[in-house]
Amino acid sequence: MPVEHTHTHPVNFDPTATEPDPHAAATHAGRAFRLGIGGPVGSGKTALVAALCRALGGQVELAVVTNDIYTTEDADFLRGAGVLDATRIEAVQTGCCPHTAIRDDISANLDAVEHLEQHHPGLELIIVESGGDNLTAVFSRGLVDAQIFVVDVAGGDKVPRKGGPGVTTADLLVINKIDLAEQVRADLGVMVTDAHRMRGELPVITQSLVRTPDAPEVAAWVRDRLAAQPA
């Protein structure tokens, strides 16, 4: 469960201290909530988007922007899986720089988001999937209201320990593919402990989309975020 950050800290001058971002993302009443999903290639971002579409699609008006470097493949996957109407998926080309498109120059993504909002009035949630990138790629707050960072156990149990802004500052860290932990000899306990150490009080969810294809815990987290939005 996300912890509401209401109490105040004395100013911390330790430049290495990790704390939740004290500034709430600017919310814009009346428009869809924008949720970024980032993380390395193959960690399960698209699979999570599909799971969220299945879990929330019945109750929430939603649409998806996908930035995968091979753009149309992800969009095709979502269309093919039948989880989302084709007109609710926009693909964005990132000019070989997926992190640029979600962080430094968000124009193309904002264009895609605005296009979806224009064509589907009443949208409540727009999920933006980043192209697979390294651990330093995070979404700009000019583009999303909240972000999930997805890593997987197959990437090695040292990933959370490596840190980087994705692991340390994302609003939610998802450790995916826990069904594979034994095969790849990843110590899940170490991953979770490291993740909490790196992230302070920010939440961490472990999941397997093989075991729970509708990502119930992440879906519940998203529902809470939507409910917390000013109407």
The residues of the shown chain that bind Mg ion, judged by CB under 5 A, are 45-46, 68, 74
Selected from 42, 57, 164, 165, the binder of ligand GDP by CB under 6 A is 42
Q: Residue 217: which of 230, 226, 208, 229 has the closest Cα? A: 208
Q: What is the nearest approach in angstroms of Mg ion to the Cβ of residue 41?
A: 8
Q: What is the nearest approach in angstroms of Mg ion to the Cβ of residue 25?
A: 23
> Which residue lies nearer to Mg ion by CB, 68 or 133?
68
> Which residue lies nearer to ligand GDP by CB, 206 or 229?
206
Decide: helix, strand or coil at residue 64. strand
Beta bridge partners of 63: 126
Selected from 21, 85, 111, 182, the binder of other proteins by CB under 8 A is 111
Q: Which of residues 178-207 bind ligand GDP (CB under 6 A)?
A: 179-180
Query: Rounded to whole angstroms, how far apart are CA atoms 110 and 90?
Result: 11
Query: Rounded to whole angstroms, how far apart are CA atoms 177 and 44?
Result: 8
User: DSSP H helical segments within the chain, as ranges?
Assistant: 45-56, 72-80, 98-99, 107-119, 159-162, 165-169, 188-199, 216-227
Q: Which residues bind ligand GDP (CB under 6 A)?
A: 39, 41-47, 132, 176-177, 179-180, 208-210
